[in-house]
Amino acid sequence: MIENLRNIAIIAHVDHGKTTIVDKLLQQSGTFGERETVAERVMDSNDLERERGITILAKNTAIKWNDYRINIVDTPGHADFGGEVERVMSMVDSVLLLVDAMDGPMPQTRFVTQKAFANNLKPIVVINKVDRPGARPDWVVDQVFDLFVNLGATDEQLDFPIIYASALNGIAGKQIIMTWLMI
C-alpha cells in the first residue's frame, strides 16, 4: 500500500558513516537472502565513488521494516552537485542527518541540510560513532541545534528526534547504552 511507503534521504559529510549505516540497514532488514553475498559499500556504484568514498550521483535502495517499505536515497553532499541534491529533496518525505559523534556537523552537512529545510523536510538526527574514544554526542547535538537555528529551521524542524548509533557495530537506539562504549 502506498501509505506504507516512506522515502528518506541520508545526509552526511565524508567519513561520517553513511555507507556503513546503509550497508547495516540492508543486512539487518533481511533485504538480501542469508546465502546472498553482498559487497561492502553497496551504494557506491561507480569506481570514483568507491575509491574516494564520496557520493557523486544520487541513487536509492529499499528496505522492508515491519509493514513499511523504506526507500533510502543516497545524496551527494558537495555544492557542485546542487542540482542533484535539489532533485532528491523534492522527492523524499524526510531526511536522516548522520553526524559523527566527534566532528559534529561539517560544511557538506550544512549545504544539503539547507536544501532539505527549503523543501520543508523534518530531519531525524543520527549521531554516529558514539562508541569511539573521544566521542562527544551531547556537544554534537548542541552543534546540530545551532546549525538548524542558523539555517532558519522552523519550530517543527527544531524538534528533531535523535538516534545514537555505532553503524560499524550495527547498533542504534534513542539512548547511548554504556555497554556500547565497551565494544
Q: What is the layout of strands, in order, in the sheet containing 5-12?
A: 59-65, 68-74, 5-12, 94-100, 123-128, 162-166, 171-173
Active-site residue, from 19, 20, 109, 113: 19
Q: What is the DSSP letter of 85?
A: H
* Contact criterion met (CB below 8 Å) for 123 and 113: yes
The Cα–Cα gap between 61 and 70 comes to 8
Active-site residue, from 31, 61, 78, 103: 78
Q: Determine how β-strand 94-100 pairs with β-strand 162-166.
A: unpaired
Residue 159: active-site member: no
The answer for residues whose C-beta is within 8 angstroms of residue 110's C-beta and 6 or more apart is 147, 151
Active-site residue, from 15, 31, 61, 122: 15
What is each CA distance from 131 to 48, 62, 165, 180, in whole angstroms?
A: 29, 27, 8, 6
Question: Torsions phi, psi of 46, nearest 5?
Answer: -110, 165
Residue 109: active-site member: no
Active-site residue, from 18, 24, 59, 129: 18
The Cα–Cα gap between 148 and 117 comes to 9
| Residues tagged active-site | 15, 18-19, 78
